[in-house]
Amino acid sequence: MQTPVEGSPVGSILLVEDDRDLAELTAELLELQGHTVVIDDGRRALDLILETQPDLVILDVELPGMTGFGICNKARRGGYTGPVVFLTARRTDVDELLAFELGGDDFVRKPVDPRILVLRVAAGLRRVQSSPTWTDGELSIDGARRLVSVREEPVPLTTGQFDLLLLLARTAPEPVDRAAYYARIRGIAYDGMDRGYDSRIRELRARLAPWGVDTRIVTVRGVGYALAPPT
């Protein structure tokens, strides 16, 4: 049995999984770490996400009725900004890319050791719970409350978009290369081919465009992306 990790962040977890055995084992390990866990087989998942606003959602892709992708998409549109960890037996890169484009924060392939999943949850919560306030010109990022504003007007971002913007801000004016993005945001090594970073940048620029600060995210050819100083 996995023992509690001292200093590991804890939170409320919604575990959406129709494999009851996997769900119960994972929930037991999460609760051992101090998390509060609610299990759902997918039938009430969207309502539970929007009504209870859990600190993190573990979301199986293959569910009865609406897929995990559909649930995540509707949850993001409904205003949920917490981390979403996708859990799936699907193997294609297209599915992984879709998961991140729809607002997912992590993508874990089955079969998975539940202990590894618990560690991925801790990493997701840690990113959410440990960030200082950062201000540069009209753009302000409150890491503790997970808020972004431009000229004091709130800018709604998903968890992944927030984490990426904060990483760019902390690294500015130097660029964030692909290896750093995958290590810091995804918690994995860059394989040299995945284009998820580019997709996330496009999404972040589109979200910031109405406030006119999307142009501050610049492409550094052959390296990655950087947050330019205000003009």
What are the pLDDT digits (tens) for 129-149? Answer: 665 677 888 899 887 677 899
| Cα–Cα dist 153/151, whole Å | 5
Give residue 182's identity as a one-letter amino acid code.
Answer: Y
pLDDT of residue 221: 92
Greater confidence (223 vs 8) lies with 223
Predicted structure pTM score: 0.61
Query: In the block, which residue shows the tokens 């610049």?
Result: 218
Average pLDDT value for residue range 69-92: 85
Q: What is the largest CA-CA distance in the chain?
A: 56
Angle, CA 167 vertex, CA 144 and CA 201 arms, to 5°: 120
- Interaxial angle between packed helices 68-77 and 45-52, expressed in degrees from 0 to 180 and rounded to the nearest 10: 30
pLDDT 10s digits, 39-52: 998 889 999 998 88
Instruction: With cut-offs at 50, 70 and 90, classify the pLDDT of residue 111.
Output: confident
Residues in the chain: 231
Question: Is the per-residue pLDDT at 158 higher than 60?
Answer: yes
| Cα–Cα dist 42/60, whole Å | 8
Per the rule left: phi > 0, alpha: psi between -120 and 50, beta: everything else, 17 is: beta
| Cα–Cα dist 116/27, whole Å | 13
3-state secondary structure of 208: helix
Pairing between strand 84-88 and 106-109?
A: parallel
CA-to-CA dists, residue 203 to 58, 89, 162, 165, 228, angstroms? 22, 26, 11, 11, 18
3-state secondary structure of 82: coil
pLDDT of residue 145: 72
| Cα–Cα dist 219/201, whole Å | 10
Q: What is the CATH number of domain 131-227?
A: 1.10.10.10
Tokens of 108: 């874990």
Question: Is the per-residue pLDDT at 212 higher than 90?
Answer: yes
| Cα–Cα dist 142/115, whole Å | 32
Structural Rg of the chain based on CA atoms = 18
From the list 16, 7, 62, 73, the residue with the least C-alpha distance to 40 is: 16
pLDDT of residue 110: 86
pLDDT of residue 130: 61
CATH 3.40.50.970 for domain 12-128, yes or no, is: no
How far the first Cα of the chain sits from its last, in Å, is 55
Greater confidence (230 vs 203) lies with 203
Q: Evaluate whether 11 touches 39 at the Cβ level (below 8 Å).
A: no
Average pLDDT value for residue range 199-221: 94
Domain boundaries, given as residue ranges, for the chain? 12-128, 131-227
Average pLDDT value for residue range 105-114: 86
Instruction: With cut-offs at 50, 70 and 90, classify the pLDDT of residue 64.
Output: confident
| Cα–Cα dist 140/147, whole Å | 8
Question: Is the per-residue pLDDT at 89 higher than 60?
Answer: yes
Average pLDDT value for residue range 207-219: 94
